[in-house]
């Protein structure tokens, strides 16, 4: 089943997390909506999830399958970007983990697409713990919205390469387009 990209109000919490009771679901929905409310106007709400499909079990499930996630775009310019991520992953048995990440564009010669330069993780064994982990991760994302937005600084601090500096043109103030967006893999 392909991931979906929809607003928080569409997340099927009852199918993704059957261990939650009504109040737990309501609290997760509220936390997810709180994130959507803090997006900038040009950043549409997009949550993606992978519903378990009993009719089509994966032959070799991933070790830590992705359950639910979203990204908030804080910076985007000339192919460079910075996003905040919140994701829920299945762990062993009933355990899940919730991660909050700061992600920046990759400018390595080999295109990795993205680097998580900051990452915090909360693990949870049951419904109540999941609600607390999700709330803690959502709060940390919300607080981080006010943090630094320059992906260059964050890449430098993480020891990652940056794109070349644009060469200013003294005759006109328009940005130089040197085709410097990271190359995309094309089939
Ligand atoms: Zn890279």
Q: How far is the CA of 73 from the centre of ligand 1 (A)?
A: 19
Q: Which residues surround ligand 1, an ion (CB under 5 A)?
A: 106, 108, 112
**pLDDT at 69 (0 to 100):** 96
Residue 104 lies in a domain: yes
How far apart are the two ends of the chain, measured CA to CA in Å?
22
Residue 98 lies in a domain: yes
Q: How far is the CA of 165 from the centre of ligand 1 (A)?
A: 18
Q: What angle (nearest 5°) sits at the alpha carbon of residue 5, between those of residues 135 and 9? A: 50
List the domain range (segments joined by +) for residue 125: 8-52+61-152
**pLDDT at 182 (0 to 100):** 53
Q: How far is the CA of 160 from the centre of ligand 1 (A)?
A: 7
Residue 90 lies in a domain: yes
Say which residues have a Cβ less than 8 Å from residue 122's Cβ, sequence separation at least 6. 97, 98, 99, 132, 133, 136, 137
Sites in the chain below the pLDDT cut of 70: 1-4, 57-61, 170-187
Tally the domains of the chain. 1
**pLDDT at 175 (0 to 100):** 53
Residue 182 lies in a domain: no
**pLDDT at 63 (0 to 100):** 74
Q: How far is the CA of 167 from the centre of ligand 1 (A)?
A: 23
**pLDDT at 185 (0 to 100):** 53
Residue 30 lies in a domain: yes
Q: How far is the CA of 99 from the centre of ligand 1 (A)?
A: 20
**pLDDT at 156 (0 to 100):** 96
**pLDDT at 186 (0 to 100):** 46
Q: How far is the CA of 159 from the centre of ligand 1 (A)?
A: 11
**pLDDT at 57 (0 to 100):** 66
**pLDDT at 1 (0 to 100):** 41
Residue 162 lies in a domain: no
β-pairing verdict for 96-105 and 114-124:
antiparallel
The string of DSSP codes covering 10-30 is G--HHHH-TT--HHHHHHHHH
**pLDDT at 53 (0 to 100):** 73
């Amino acid at each position: 089943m392909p991931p979906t990209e929809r607003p928080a109000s569409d997340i099927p919490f009852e199918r993704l997390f059957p261990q939650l009771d009504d109040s737990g679901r309501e609290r997760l929905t509220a936390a997810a909506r709180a994130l959507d409310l803090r997006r900038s106007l040009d950043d549409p709400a997009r949550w993606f999830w992978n519903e378990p499909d009993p009719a089509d079990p994966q032959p070799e499930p991933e070790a830590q399958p992705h359950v639910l996630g979203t990204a908030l775009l804080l910076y985007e310019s000339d192919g460079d970007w910075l996003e905040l991520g919140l994701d829920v992953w299945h762990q062993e048995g009933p355990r899940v983990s919730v991660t909050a990440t700061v992600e920046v564009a990759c400018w390595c010669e080999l295109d990795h697409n993205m680097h998580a330069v900051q990452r915090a993780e909360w693990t949870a064994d049951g419904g109540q713990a999941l609600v607390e982990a999700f709330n803690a991760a959502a709060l940390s994302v919300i607080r981080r919205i006010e943090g630094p937005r320059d992906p260059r600084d964050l890449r430098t601090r993480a020891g990652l390469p940056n794109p070349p500096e644009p060469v200013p043109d003294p005759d006109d103030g328009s940005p130089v387009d040197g085709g410097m967006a990271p190359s995309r893999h094309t089939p």
